[in-house]
Amino acid sequence: MSKRRALITGITGQDGSYLLEFLLAKDYEVHGVVRRVALEDPEHRLSRIMRYREQVQLHPASLESYASLYQVVAKVLPDECYHLASQSFVSYSFDDEFSTLNTNINGTHYLLSALKHNAPACRVYFAGSSEMFGKVEEIPQTERTRFHPRSTYGISKVAGFDLTRNYREAYGLHASSGILFNHESPRRGFEFVTRRISSGVARIAAGAQSELRLGNLDAQRDWGHAREYVEAMWLMLQQPEPDDYVIATGEMHSVREFAAAAFSWAGLDYRDYVTADAVLFRPAEVNTLLGDASKARERLGWRSRTSFQELVREMVEADCRAAGVGDAVLARLSPE
């Protein structure tokens, strides 16, 4: 039997790299969409997937170009397509609203249309986001909670969600959206708050930095482990019918709690190092995100397994090792 063929956009990111590993372990033939510049600068831009370079086929294309996505889809003819690529940094969407909307909305639309024309039987996953709930209308949030996005990033994800549902209803595509709450790991980008904290702790523990400036310490998030969240994406596409699912841990912690836990794993008190910098506050904040993943648990058999403390520990340990901190700190961080 021939291998199942998967196409991943955003394959070089945190989620893309975990999904690539997961699908290779399931014996898929994996293809990825990357920017042309990534192929020219692999050491830097393909760092998360470099060790799988021989096992994956990469295709240059841009979310801004329908023709380029169309050609990749027509060439690969995937059985499953995971659309993870986007301008995903909420904070940046306040600086460049127009490109966030253009890239995220058009990119999703182009891909769905290319699939409709070339691979209508392909099963499609769209990376929705808890940011769509924004100014939350209820706590916790479920698949039935009304969206109230607070950034153009959130608006672009609501549009992508609606497009995905419309391609399902109008053209019969097996297209599902995951409403993923924040998911982190040692592969998280440095611009996101959890990695900013874990890498800051490591630099402070290594003596390379003495202060960590953060924005709103009181914002609360539902943080899970990215490795587990990509399993949920795959499970959605194995269902007989496409649908939308909240993926979350059901636990909420503040940025302050994350910082306190991260510093404490390194034997430090966050109050000695963290300062809140007004420049890093957002013009419209999302204060409270807490997901109820009951539907995913019941229908997909999925549940989050990594505790908050274990997630923080894993991230701080990875960054401390990379920063070359001393054995005394590493001994605190190693489970044995």
Q: Residue 5 or 253: which CB sits closer to ligand G4F?
A: 253
Q: Residue 24 or 276: which CB sits closer to ligand G4F?
A: 276
Distance CA 305, CA 309 (A): 12
With the C-alpha atoms ordered 90, 92, 98, 99, is the resulting torsion angle positive or negative? negative
The residue from 131, 228, 314, 317 that is catalytic is 131
Distance CA 216, CA 3 (A): 47
- Using CB under 6 A, count the residues that bind ligand G4F: 24
Distance CA 39, CA 49 (A): 12
131 among known catalytic residues: yes
Residue 158 in contact with residue 115, Cβ under 8 Å?
Answer: no
Distance CA 74, CA 95 (A): 35
DSSP state of 270: G
Contact flag: residue 9 with ligand G4F (CB under 6 A): no
Contact flag: residue 233 with ligand G4F (CB under 6 A): no
Residue 114 in contact with residue 70, Cβ under 8 Å?
Answer: yes
- Out of 48, 165, 174, 221, the only residue in the binding site for ligand G4F (CB under 6 A) is 221
- Out of 9, 182, 288, 304, the only residue in the binding site for ligand G4F (CB under 6 A) is 182
Distance CA 152, CA 154 (A): 5
- DSSP reduced 3-state for 323: helix
- Determine phi and psi for 149, rounding to 5 degrees: -65, 150
Point out which span in 96-104, 129-137, 139-147, 307-315 binds ligand G4F (CB under 6 A): 129-137
Write out the binding residues for ligand G4F, residues 69-128 only, by CB under 6 A.
88, 90-91
The residue from 18, 110, 125, 153 that is catalytic is 153
- Out of 181, 234, 263, 270, the only residue in the binding site for ligand G4F (CB under 6 A) is 181
Tokens standing for 152? 């153009």
- Out of 24, 139, 206, 219, the only residue in the binding site for ligand G4F (CB under 6 A) is 219
Q: Residue 130 or 164: which CB sits closer to ligand G4F?
A: 130
Contact flag: residue 131 with ligand G4F (CB under 6 A): yes
Write out the binding residues for ligand G4F, residues 272-311 only, by CB under 6 A.
280, 282, 285-286, 289
Least Å from the CB of residue 319 to ligand G4F? 15
Residue 30 in contact with residue 16, Cβ under 8 Å?
Answer: no
- Amino acid at the residue 331: A
- Out of 17, 68, 93, 129, the only residue in the binding site for ligand G4F (CB under 6 A) is 129
Distance CA 316, CA 298 (A): 33
Contact flag: residue 17 with ligand G4F (CB under 6 A): no
Residues that bind ligand G4F (CB under 6 A): 88, 90-91, 129-131, 181-182, 191-194, 196, 214-216, 219, 221, 255, 280, 282, 285-286, 289
List the catalytic residues: 129, 131, 153
